[in-house]
């Protein structure tokens, strides 16, 4: 189980993060970027699992910039709240929070980033703009097609859903074609397929994506 810590970004903004430590010496550090629902039960479970896999993992509460302590589920009212808050966020601030999280786990050595949904877009943006990241793993980042011209500075593995109603398959394939030097996987699943608390959860795709993610981390981080 992890614990909540407080971080300070370069602009002075203070915010919470859920930090989970491995049992032994960390293989490296891993930033886990939330969906639009806050550092909720699902994201804490994901962070704990990566710690169990041997990584010093941290999930920054990025929406603290617009609403502190956001922790909601996946009901229609939750979706409405979360989408409204997302509209108030910007990627420039998200990058500042990623950098603060990166500093917090610097003692673990090489640092990577994984993100889901909105967090997947943050992971891509970080790969293109944050110095020192070893690799990035975006899951179904909806804003990535709009950032297709940006060039990652580290290896990236993208996980896409073939029936994602939030990201047209054509757009995802355009990203893959424009960035052939990066790794792209497509799954017979929809948006949020990794989350076992959502109706779109697809167990087989989630398992395969996780296996590939761990292999990617082992290759680039340790």
Q: In whole angstroms, what is the distance from residue 132 CA to residue 134 CA?
A: 6
3-state SS class at 31: strand
Query: What residue ranges do the domains of the chain occupy?
Result: 3-220
pLDDT at res. 122: 98
pLDDT tens digits for range 100-124: 999 999 999 999 999 999 999 999 9
pLDDT at res. 198: 95
pTM above 0.85, yes or no: yes
Taking residue 41's Cβ as centre, other Cβ atoms within 10 Å add up to: 12
The residue-averaged pLDDT of 127-135 equals 97
- Given a cut of 80, whether residue 6 has pLDDT beyond it is yes
- Given a cut of 80, whether residue 1 has pLDDT beyond it is no
Cross-strand bridge partners of residue 28: 55
pLDDT tens digits for range 173-204: 999 999 999 999 999 999 999 999 999 999 99
pLDDT tens digits for range 148-181: 999 999 999 999 999 999 999 999 999 999 999 9
Residue 222's pLDDT band (boundaries 50, 70, 90)?
confident
Q: C-alpha angle with apex 51: 199 to 97, nearest 5 degrees?
A: 80
pLDDT tens digits for range 46-100: 999 999 999 999 999 999 999 999 999 999 999 999 999 999 999 999 999 999 9
DSSP per residue over 131-172, as a string?
TTEEEEEEES-TTGGGGTTS--SS-BEEEEETT-SSS-HHHH
The residue-averaged pLDDT of 37-50 equals 98
Distances (CA, A) of 35 to 106, 116, 150, 184, 219: 23, 5, 22, 20, 26
Q: Spell out the residues 6+ positions from residue 111 whose beta carbon is closer than 8 angstroms to its own.
A: 28, 29, 30, 31, 102, 105, 132, 133, 134, 221
CB 9 within 8 A of CB 99: yes
Q: In whole angstroms, what is the distance from residue 93 CA to residue 87 CA?
A: 13
- For 3-220, which CATH superfamily applies? Alpha/Beta hydrolase fold, catalytic domain (3.40.50.1820)
């Amino acid at each position: 189980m992890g614990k909540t810590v407080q971080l300070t970004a370069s602009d002075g903004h203070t915010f919470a993060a859920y930090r989970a430590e491995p049992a032994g010496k960390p293989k490296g550090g891993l930033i886990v970027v939330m969906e639009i629902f806050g550092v909720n039960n699902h994201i804490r479970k994901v962070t704990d699992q990566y710690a169990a896999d041997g990584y010093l993992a941290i999930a920054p509460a990025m929406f603290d910039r617009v609403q502190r302590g956001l922790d909601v589920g996946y009901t229609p009212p939750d979706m409405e709240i979360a989408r409204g808050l997302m509209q108030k966020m910007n990627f420039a601030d998200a990058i500042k929070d990623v950098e603060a999280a990166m500093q917090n786990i610097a003692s673990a050595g090489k640092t990577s980033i994984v993100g889901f949904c909105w967090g997947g877009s943050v992971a891509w943006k970080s790969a293109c703009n944050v110095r020192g990241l070893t690799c990035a793993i975006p899951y179904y980042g909806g804003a990535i097609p709009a950032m297709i011209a940006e060039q990652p500075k580290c290896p990236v593995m993208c996980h896409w859903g073939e029936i994602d109603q939030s990201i047209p398959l054509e757009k995802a394939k355009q990203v893959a074609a424009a960035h052939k030097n990066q790794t792209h996987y497509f799954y017979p699943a929809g948006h949020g397929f990794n989350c076992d608390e959502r109706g779109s959860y697809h167990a087989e795709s989630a398992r395969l994506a996780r296996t590939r993610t761990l292999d990617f981390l082992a290759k680039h981080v340790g």
